[in-house]
């Protein structure tokens, strides 16, 4: 079988010679809105900023009761003083803002496959209260999502001023719910969690309540160096319930930093309250150094000898980094959405070997400075072997496409380093591709053409152990194979001789 794809553009849209049917999933919205003053309040912006600042994340709850889908929550927070308030007609003297929020789920082809939205209001009593800095609004949207790899965009619009903002969430990996063994949900970090004994149910916003807990989530799992406590919420599924058994469930909590155990936070035994239950913990992070951490949760059910683990990344940042994060979330540049490691990967094939070695030796601060200088000197990137140049935004599109389509791991984050990923990041998107999925004598292979480059460039990739390796190209400096050159000329191009590039070698 042969599939031909043409005209891949920088926004990752392309045409395939077959019909594609997209079925929209049913969705459920759960709206929550709170007004709180929190330690990370330095993120607040003034009313004069042009874009709304949106902080958003995703948490997956693969409850087996949902059968073949998982519930994915998209919590987000906003700065209250960025919104315009008005006083409606009538006796009510309060001020109100009107906010529209939407989450769009996107598959690896860049297609919008589902969405959910809501309007909600925020009320204040005085103009000075509405303008107060350091006060944040919290909300969340929910979708039921089939297993797969996705990204999402949370969009917010001030219905009064028409100002807008958005946050992009990459690499949402939804696995099928587990039904035959102990499993954990994604751990969720929060600014505060209160039990039903500690809050007034008559005055608290019930939309903040989940399984008897009032939860104010931290959408981006980022804490200020001045914060002293982090809160953790999670769920457990498929617990063994036996009335005669006195076995308890054991939970252990560890902090991982630089791939080693930084701190053991302890363990506790909990009484099983059903086949599905939740847990809540809080941890003291006072005077912890700034940096990236991973909180690991391990659950052990001795009655059935089963265990499972879950991890959540979080970062403790300084006030200097807070200012940088404000700029990142207000930016419309996809580069600002990348992690430091991804920024380094992005230019890896554009650097010489000595430059790569220098970059690898630098500290995080040094790498940031190196990258800043690189992009000052290279507002666009080009390859001397081809008549092509790419903007940083176009390069990021190639990087994301490579990870989505060529990765060999479940995280979908190493496609950039494969042969196909290197070619896209070095020469840009192909102009035409022919894929032979079931050739008669050979392994599956793909041929990429760049018709407009020089006299025409060609790259041939052959499948080997689950990945495609570059086996032939007519580009100077790339691998050249006489046998594949002959195949290109005699077999693949028989029906379209005008498309044959110069295959006699570089």
pLDDT in tens, 373-421: 999 998 888 877 777 888 998 999 899 899 988 998 877 889 999 999 9
Q: What is the CATH number of the domain that holds 71?
A: 2.60.40.10
Please state, in angstroms and rounded to a whole number, the distance separating the CA atoms of residues 313 and 324: 19
Examine the domain organization and report whether 145 and 221 are in the same domain: no
Q: How far is CA 403 from CA 59, 114, 409, 415, 416, in A?
A: 21, 22, 10, 4, 6
Examine the domain organization and report whether 53 and 152 are in the same domain: yes
Q: Is residue 343 assigned to a domain?
A: yes
Please state, in angstroms and rounded to a whole number, the distance separating the CA atoms of residues 366 and 39: 28
At 28, is the pLDDT very low, low, confident or very high (cuts 50, 70, 90)? very low
Domain termination residue (choose one: 136, 158, 175): 175
Domain termination residue (choose one: 316, 332, 348): 332
Per-residue pLDDT tens digits for 109-120? 788 999 999 999
Specify the pLDDT at position 440: 59
Q: Which domain holds residue 46?
A: 21-175
Domain termination residue (choose one: 272, 298, 332): 332
Please state, in angstroms and rounded to a whole number, the distance separating the CA atoms of residues 17 and 450: 19
Examine the domain organization and report whether 339 and 480 are in the same domain: yes
C-alpha closest to that of 56 among 13, 95, 104 = 104
Token look-up 């499948």 returns 463
Examine the domain organization and report whether 158 and 185 are in the same domain: no
Examine the domain organization and report whether 73 and 149 are in the same domain: yes
At 506, is the pLDDT very low, low, confident or very high (cuts 50, 70, 90)? low
Q: Is residue 12 assigned to a domain?
A: no
Examine the domain organization and report whether 246 and 384 are in the same domain: no
Tally of domains in the chain: 3
Examine the domain organization and report whether 99 and 188 are in the same domain: no
Q: Is residue 297 assigned to a domain?
A: yes
Examine the domain organization and report whether 27 and 142 are in the same domain: yes
Q: Is residue 425 assigned to a domain?
A: yes
Examine the domain organization and report whether 366 and 493 are in the same domain: yes
C-alpha closest to that of 234 among 184, 269, 180, 175 = 184
DSSP type of residue 91: S
Q: Is residue 13 assigned to a domain?
A: no
Q: Which two tokens stand for residue 397?
A: 């599109």
Q: Is residue 374 assigned to a domain?
A: yes
Examine the domain organization and report whether 39 and 121 are in the same domain: yes
Examine the domain organization and report whether 338 and 476 are in the same domain: yes
Examine the domain organization and report whether 352 and 451 are in the same domain: yes
Mean per-residue pLDDT, 321-330: 64
At 272, is the pLDDT very low, low, confident or very high (cuts 50, 70, 90)? confident
Phi (first) and psi of residue 274, to 5 degrees: 160, 175
Q: What is the CATH number of the domain that holds 263?
A: 2.60.40.3880
3-state SS of 413-441? CCHHHCHHHHHHHHHCCCCEEEEECCCCC
């Amino acid at each position: 079988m042969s599939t031909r794809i043409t005209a891949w553009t920088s926004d990752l849209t392309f045409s395939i010679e077959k019909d594609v049917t997209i079925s929209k999933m049913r969705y459920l919205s759960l709206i929550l809105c709170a007004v709180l003053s929190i330690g990370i309040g330095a993120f607040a912006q003034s009313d004069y900023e042009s874009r709304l600042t949106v902080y958003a994340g995703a948490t997956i709850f693969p409850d087996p009761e949902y059968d073949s889908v998982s519930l994915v929550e998209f919590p987000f927070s906003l700065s209250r003083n960025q919104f315009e308030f008005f006083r409606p007609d009538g006796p009510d003297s309060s001020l109100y803002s009107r906010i529209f929020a939407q989450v769009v789920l996107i598959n690896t082809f860049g297609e919008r496959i589902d969405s959910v939205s809501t309007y909600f209001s925020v009320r204040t009593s005085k103009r000075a209260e509405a303008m107060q800095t350091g006060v944040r609004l919290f909300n969340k949207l929910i979708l039921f999502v089939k297993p797969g790899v996705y990204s999402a965009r949370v969009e917010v619009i001030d219905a009064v001023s028409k100002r807008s903002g958005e946050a992009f969430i990459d690499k949402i990996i939804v696995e099928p719910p587990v039904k035959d063994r102990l499993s954990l949900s994604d751990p969720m970090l929060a600014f505060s969690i209160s039990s039903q004994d500690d809050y007034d149910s008559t005055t608290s916003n019930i939309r903040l309540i989940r399984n008897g807990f009032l939860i104010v989530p931290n959408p981006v799992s980022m804490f200020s160096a001045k914060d002293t406590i982090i809160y953790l919420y999670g769920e457990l599924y498929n617990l063994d319930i036996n009335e005669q058994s006195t076995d308890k469930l054991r939970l252990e909590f560890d902090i991982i930093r630089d791939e080693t155990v930084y701190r053991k936070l302890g363990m506790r035994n909990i009484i099983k309250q059903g086949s599905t239950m939740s847990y809540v913990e809080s941890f003291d992070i006072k005077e912890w150094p700034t940096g990236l951490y991973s909180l690991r949760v391990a659950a052990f059910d001795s009655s059935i000898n089963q265990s499972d683990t879950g991890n959540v990344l979080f970062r403790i940042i300084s006030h200097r980094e807070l200012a940088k994060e404000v700029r990142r979330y207000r930016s419309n540049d996809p580069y600002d959405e990348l992690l430091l490691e991804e920024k380094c990967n992005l230019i890896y094939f554009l650097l010489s070997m000595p430059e790569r070695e220098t970059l690898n030796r630098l500290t995080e601060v040094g790498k940031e400075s190196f990258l800043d200088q690189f992009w000052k000197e290279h507002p666009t990137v080009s390859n001397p072997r081809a008549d092509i140049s790419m903007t940083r935004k176009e390069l990021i599109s190639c990087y994301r496409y490579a990870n989505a389509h060529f990765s060999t791991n479940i995280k979908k984050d190493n496609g950039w380093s494969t042969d196909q990923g290197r070619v896209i990041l070095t020469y840009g998107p192909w102009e035409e591709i022919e894929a032979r999925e079931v050739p008669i004598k050979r392994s599956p292979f793909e041929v990429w053409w760049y018709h407009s480059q020089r006299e025409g460039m060609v790259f041939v990739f052959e499948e080997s152990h689950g990945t495609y390796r570059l086996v032939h190209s007519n580009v100077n400096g790339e691998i050249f194979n006489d046998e594949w050159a002959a195949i290109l000329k005699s077999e693949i191009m028989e029906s379209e001789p005008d498309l044959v590039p110069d295959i006699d070698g570089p």
